[in-house]
A and B are shown apart, each in its own frame.
Chain A
């Protein structure tokens, strides 16, 4: 079992829909949870960062972390064609925080249909 599981998709939804992306993980030491967006032929771009369990909202994006279930989610409201990209979950933990690097999911390829 990989440390972080993420459905690679593709996930195709119509413009304006609410998108739900998620990851599960097995390492209970993870404390920091991130979502990255990666456009084709570009490096990953940090979208959301959450520490421990709870919700965090930033504009159209909401990140949720449920450490008891080892499950994290990213919701995108009022999705736009420009949101079409690959979304990567990432996490780290322990006393080193991110100093030991991040563990990534495979990424979900999201397509927003105009």
Chain B
């Protein structure tokens, strides 16, 4: 298993500003994922971030709104840009493990409130 640390654990931000969430893993991993968990909703995949390549975004998520960096095999950041109250959510970093990357491990999440 992998130990994943996310920072910050929570934040309250003003609309129109941006927040960068950091994800640090205690081992080198190929596949990293960013999810969003809105109240009463399923965890939804935002994007897949592989080291050395551009992040791949899911339908409904765009790079201008959620830019992602993956500078090495243990670290990634997700920025939530030009925030609005609709961006209030929990954002989770995840790594894929196992031969098929299906055994995912998660950070504790970042609870974001936009006011």
Contacts and interface: CB of A to CB of B under 8 A. Distances in A.
Contacts, number: 73
Contacts of B102: 32, 34, 49, 92, 97-98, 102
A9 B48 CA distance: 30
Nearest to B105: A46
B44 to A, nearest CB: 8
Interface residues of B, number: 27
Contacts of B98: 49, 98
A58 interface: no
A101 interface: yes
B106 A44 contact: yes
Interface residues of A, number: 27
Given A32-B100, A41-B111, A102 B41 contact: no
B108 A98 contact: no
A8 interface: yes
Interface of A: 2, 4, 8, 32, 34, 36, 41-46, 49, 88, 90, 92, 97-107
